[in-house]
Amino acid sequence: MMTILRPILGLSSLVLAWALAVWLFNVPNYISPGPLGVAKAFSNNFGALVKNLVPTMEAAVGGFLIGNFAAICIATVFVHWTRVREIYLPVAVFFNTIPIIALAPVLILIFGLGITSKIMVSAIVCFFPMLVNMIRGFESVSSSELELMRVMSASRREVFFKLRLPRSVPFLFAALRISATASVIGAIVAEWIGAELGLGVLIIQTTFDYRTELLYAAIATSSLLALCMFTIVVVAETFIVRWRTS
């Protein structure tokens, strides 16, 4: 119980400090509203927020699923065919150095303003951490585990499904935690560059219109979305990974 209460205490203290700062320095509303103003904007614009949340969520979840799935498949290929890995992993590392904000316009040019490009941007953000983690996970088997499988004349397929894949599960969840929040970032970045609806669009519009209370409410909503996805991953992990390495 205390483990939940303490962070709530931490968050409340910061919100209180924020309210105090706004009041003490007499900050105008269009620069930064207080927590109460944001809460009011949240309830007044609930419908608009939900309407904008849905496409962002679709893009984030879609990108999360596609990016992670693709990364797991490619990591599987890399672990089995070292040559392919030697040829393509450096290329993947190179692509990862391109800032996503620089890559997003290119994808929007190719895939248009619809959901496809948003999913693509989100998927790319998820892809690399999962690829690196899964390669490490598949290779985290010990030499005596591999020898045990060899004494039993296990096939490559059996070594993969009975040893490498279960071994990699903690690494899988480490990457899922990263991409749960990163996928939302990807979706919002894509929406900044160009989209008709979404939290990213709302953030840009409210900034330009000085509707700062709604801007803060939109930020809080995107943070809630990321938090929900992160929580789902953590809960799934506690149910799935019950073992520990001694």
Partner 1 sequence: MSAIRVSGVDVAFTTASGPIQALSDIAIDIAEGQFCVLIGPSGCGKSTFLRVIADLQAPDRGEVQVFSGNAAEARRARRISFVFQEATLLPWRSVIDNVRLPLQVGNWKSVGRPHRDPNELVQLVGLGGRESALPHQLSGGQRQRVAIARALVTRPDVLLMDEPFGALDEITRERLNDEMLKIWQETGTTIVFVTHSLSEAAFLGQSVAVMAAHPGRMSKIVNLDGEKPAGAIDRSSSRFFDITSDLRRHLETAEGMAMT
| Contact residues for partner 1, defined by CB under 8 A | 142, 144-145, 147-155, 158, 162-163, 166, 169, 241-246
Rounded (10°) angle between helices 46-80 and 212-240:
40
The torsion region of residue 33 among left (phi > 0), alpha (psi -120 to 50) and beta comes to beta
CB of 147 to partner 1, least distance (A): 5
- Between vectors from CA 185 to CA 182 and to CA 188, what angle results, nearest 5°? 155
Q: How far is the CB of 132 from partner 1 (least distance, A)?
A: 22
The residue among 5 and 151 lying less far from partner 1, judged by its C-beta, is 151
Task: Work out whether the CA dihedral 200, 216, 230, 131 comes out positive or negative.
Answer: positive
- Compute CA distances 45 → 21, 39, 96, 146, whole Å: 25, 10, 37, 58
- Closer Cβ to partner 1, 93 or 152, answer by number: 152
Closest distance to partner 1 from the beta carbon of 154 (Å): 4
Neighbours of 79 (CB within 10 A): 18
- 63: number of CA atoms within 13 Å, CB side? 33
Beta carbons within 8 Å of 11's beta carbon, 6+ residues apart: none
Which of 149, 199 has the CB closer to partner 1? Answer: 149
Q: Give least dist CB 236 to partner 1, A.
A: 15
Nearer to partner 1, 208 or 243 (CB): 243
Q: How far is the CB of 142 from partner 1 (least distance, A)?
A: 7
DSSP annotation of 29: T
Min. distance of Cβ 156 from partner 1 in angstroms?
11
**Which residues does 197 contact at the CB level (< 8 Å), separation at least 6?**
51, 52, 55
Closest CB to partner 1 among 6 and 150? 150
Nearer to partner 1, 106 or 148 (CB): 148
